[in-house]
Structure 1
Amino acid sequence: MISKKNKTRNDPISPPKFLALGFSAIILTGTFLLELPMATADGTRTSLADAFFTAVSATSVTGLVVVDTGTHWSTFGQIVLLLLFQLGGLGFMTSATWIAMMLNRRISFRERMILQEAMGQYQIQGIVDLIRKVLVYAFTIEGIGALLLTLRFWRDMHFDEALYLGIFQSVSIFNNAGFDLLGSIHGPFAGFPVYGTDIYLNLVNMALIFLGGIGFIVMFDVMEYPKCRKLSLHSKVVLSVTGFLILLGALSLFLLEYSNDATIGNMTWGEKWMAAFFQSITARSGGISTIDIGSMQQSSQFFLIILMFIGAAPGSTGGGIKVTTFAVLIGAVISMIQGKRDVVLFKKRIPEAMVYRSLTVTIIALIVLVSSAMFLSATEDQQFLVIFFEAVSAFGTVGLSMGMTPELSEVGKVFVALLMFLGRLGPLTLAYALTRKKHKDLYRHPEGRIIIG
């Protein structure tokens, strides 16, 4: 007879645990490579805390940095970063599957289960074909983006420099990583504000952020729409809520920042709208900005916090609680106000378990963020709004910053790095990874009532 202890030891690692361990392995490898002297421009060794923070930020496709990417890292270090956020954006299991398919190796059932968890799918059938499509779409979009960006940067530099910058920025922006090399051209931490009024560059970057943030499932649905004339409920929810949040964000930021000379006040009317749309889109998880976030009105900064908390779509390169979670919660509130029992979106009833899952994700995220803000308030000498903004940006894997990240203490760097890691995995996935296998209840307790409100 096999003891319960031995049986537990022989049980395979659950998909969520496997994903957590896989991301951890990538981060540790990245930390080791970035700590090497050859990874820096001046040949000195980067501190362990800075290397670890940067590796986590790249793998979690966040974009918060404690050192300037363009001036601190050598070409080797920058390529390491590019590989980290490419792996982090697509997911290491997606990348591993691609390598296995190139080697003509069969994908096992267990590996398909892990892929199902990583992609947020409800069925395992067709998961390998889905991965093939993901890779084709991702590399195609990154390639087109690299070409368009190279053509623009070629006006300011030699072709080989423009090509390298175009490839790096395309992969970074599509994966919502937020890393940029512009510090090597316009000075450390210059970022994209120097191109704030460049219509061509703004449109290309917004398109890359948008495509990376809506998720591959939605992209497939849209591409198939001309044939089947039908969109899934998931795609309808993602596209409608994403569009609503972008428009609401752009209008709000336009009105709030209209007369702020430190941001868009001195721009033309058209440039103001372009900047407002850019910040609205990038707050969903893009990580790059065309204006100084620290100079924005506090009302605008708090509005960005809300957008960052909601985040992008499931199965995308973005973070946050996800737009579908937000839609389900709003649907639940509307149903409760109307006295209805079911949550209905686009004439489809949402399962009760999905409503509970959405509520769980949101509550866990709020608990994590409130606790993190309290902790960072004790370790960092910054205003609370700056601290809370940074915490939400890290947890939502957004990468926008009000300037606090380079000034983090050693303890703060480690804590924010862990926050980015948690945000990339997703609070619910990490909770599942750290708990035992679920057991079905054999009985139900008698119903009780309490007063609400």
Structure 2
Amino acid sequence: MKINARFRLPARRSPRGLILQMHPPEILLLGFITFSLLGTLLLKIPGAATLPISWLEALFTATSAITVTGLIVIDTGSDLSFWGQLVVVTLIQIGGLGFMTFAALTVVMLGGRLPMVHQSLVRESLNQTSVGEIGRLVRTVILYALVAEAIGIVLLSLEWVPEFGWRKGLWESIFHTISAFNNAGFSTRSNSLMDDVGSPLVNLTITALFIIGGIGFAVLGDLRDKRRFSRLAFQTRLILMTTLILNLVAFFVITTLEWDNPDTLGGLPDTLDRLLAGWFQAVTPRTAGFNTLDTAAMTQPATVFTMVLMFIGGGPSSTASGIKITTFVVLLLTARAFFQQRDEPVIMRRRISVATVNKAIAVALGTVFMIFLVVLALTMTEANATLEEILFETISALATVGLSLGLTGHLSAPGQLIIIVTMLVGRVGPLSLGYLIARRRVPVTRYPRGAIQIG
């Protein structure tokens, strides 16, 4: 009854202002579902598609766009008209900046009040020490997004306007910039960005956009305030250093594994093209979903390594998903602390609390369990697919990356519904799990310790 009451009356007025009664995960999930259904209706309007598309295809496309995943069952460039593509890119912008970001901005601008437990959650997720700073940070996030996208549009126009003309070239620049910054991976071309594999401007601009979008809004806010690395918050320095290390390691591994593959790097004409393609393919799995090489043609070791990168994902409170960089680092530090027989993980002269370790373990295990369930379901609905294809597609959907080995376009109707749910859970799930973990319950009874042998 209490849950139904919250949904019937999501907000109420009080002497202090507007009070939201729904929990943040409920608001988030309801928001994504609402925009997904709205996008479905808009894509079914006559003129949105160049050929008839089913309701399920429209729902899949709208969900993939609002969750900034990028998996597709129709060709965005040829099967959708300009208006259909405009619906997709609008959903990407809303989903990328985050429904909660827009909701928080709306509440702040209207003078609404969040309950204290919700204020604490938002403050923690945005790495802010003061509730009053949240409104300023949210406004800064949107300003940064618009500035970064404007710069991206200008740079890509320098390449594509001379190639395609003003109308098509400008639209290609706008669409791909918004898709890249919001880590969506949608493209108006059937082969993504494979035609620009040798273009330094396109490669560096697109990768810069999705790396900036994937490091997290809290990092952007901290960089705005501090501007010097030594003065940055501990989490900001950790995310920046880990992002750099992961990108360099991924670049070395992917380039080495694919260097002699005639279907990927080995088929490119010169060394610069190979290095550009290696860099792009190394940094796209954790966040974006674009590709300049045929992902399905990669060697099996490179495919497995790509799945690991997708599982890790980007920074917290960013346009990327996955278990997040911080979760990955905490897990590594916890393992190192165990082998060094330390009570707590330590990095950069900072101790990681037991509560943080427990959160990281819960997020990682929850994600692994979800992957297992989805893989199990898809093996029953997609009898002709290989286990490698199913596992790759599952991680890509749950981490909202958008890379594919080609299975998504051949999914059955039940398989499409499974991936739709997976994309929604991947976008909302980690935040929901974090909220549940944040709602600390103090046990009434304290039990004696029990000894359990591990390993």
Corresponding residue SS for 2:374: helix
Distance 1:353 1:146, change over 3 A: same
Distance 1:408 1:128, change over 3 A: same
Structure 2 residue 180 is the aligned partner of structure 1 residue 173: yes
Instruction: State the one-letter code of the partner of 1:133.
Output: T
Listed one character per residue, the Cα deviations across residues 247-299 of structure 1 (whole Å, up to 9, x for unaligned) are 11111111111110100103222222221111111011111000000000011
- Tell me by how many angstroms 1:329 deviates: 0.5
Corresponding residue SS for 2:278: helix
Distance 1:136 1:437, change over 3 A: closer
- Tell me by how many angstroms 1:8 deviates: 8.8
Distance 1:168 1:437, change over 3 A: same
Distance 2:318 2:227 in 1: 23
Structure 2 residue 48 is the aligned partner of structure 1 residue 29: no
- Tell me by how many angstroms 1:195 deviates: 0.8
Number of the residue aligned with 1:374: 376
Aligned pairs, number: 438
Number of the residue aligned with 2:255: 254
Listed one character per residue, the Cα deviations across residues 189-237 of structure 1 (whole Å, up to 9, x for unaligned) are 2211111111111011111111111112212333444468411111111
Q: Which runs of 5+ in 1 are unaligned?
A: 183-188
Number of the residue aligned with 2:245: 244
Corresponding residue SS for 2:362: helix
* TM-score normalised over the length of structure 2: 0.91
Distance 1:303 1:241 in 2: 17
Distance 1:329 1:179 in 2: 31
Number of the residue aligned with 1:273: 275
- Tell me by how many angstroms 1:20 deviates: 1.3
Number of the residue aligned with 2:217: 216
* TM-score normalised over the length of structure 1: 0.91
Q: How does 1:152-163 map to 2 (within 5 A)?
A: 152-163=159-170
Distance 1:164 1:309 in 2: 32
Instruction: State the one-letter code of the partner of 2:286.
Output: R
Distance 1:119 1:266 in 2: 47
Q: Is the 8 A contact 1:15 1:113 kept in 2?
A: yes
Number of the residue aligned with 1:386: 389
Q: Which runs of 5+ in 2 are unaligned?
A: 11-20
Distance 1:112 1:169, change over 3 A: farther
Structure 2 residue 69 is the aligned partner of structure 1 residue 49: no
Instruction: State the one-letter code of the partner of 1:255.
Output: T
Number of the residue aligned with 2:427: 424
- Tell me by how many angstroms 1:398 deviates: 0.4
Q: Is the 8 A contact 1:112 1:128 kept in 2?
A: no
After superposing the two structures, state which structure 1 stretch, 18-27 or 63-72, moved more: 18-27
Listed one character per residue, the Cα deviations across residues 83-139 of structure 1 (whole Å, up to 9, x for unaligned) are 1111100112322455667xx532323499379549823653411111011011011
Instruction: State the one-letter code of the partner of 1:132.
Output: R
Distance 1:228 1:411, change over 3 A: closer
Listed one character per residue, the Cα deviations across residues 362-393 of structure 1 (whole Å, up to 9, x for unaligned) are 00100110121121112111111111000000
Corresponding residue SS for 1:265: helix
Structure 2 residue 35 is the aligned partner of structure 1 residue 64: no
Distance 2:25 2:122 in 1: 7
Q: Is the 8 A contact 2:312 2:324 kept in 1?
A: yes
Number of the residue aligned with 2:359: 357
Distance 1:62 1:15, change over 3 A: same
Number of the residue aligned with 2:325: 323
Distance 1:21 1:277 in 2: 37
Q: Is the 8 A contact 1:93 1:115 kept in 2?
A: no
- Tell me by how many angstroms 1:311 deviates: 0.5
Instruction: State the one-letter code of the partner of 1:53.
Output: F
* Amino-acid identity (%): 34
Number of the residue aligned with 1:234: 235
Corresponding residue SS for 1:39: coil
Number of the residue aligned with 2:27: 18
Instruction: State the one-letter code of the partner of 1:334.
Output: R
Corresponding residue SS for 1:155: helix
Superposed CA RMSD: 2.4
Distance 1:174 1:246 in 2: 17
After superposing the two structures, state which structure 1 stretch, 78-87 or 111-120, moved more: 111-120
Number of the residue aligned with 2:450: 448
Corresponding residue SS for 2:351: strand
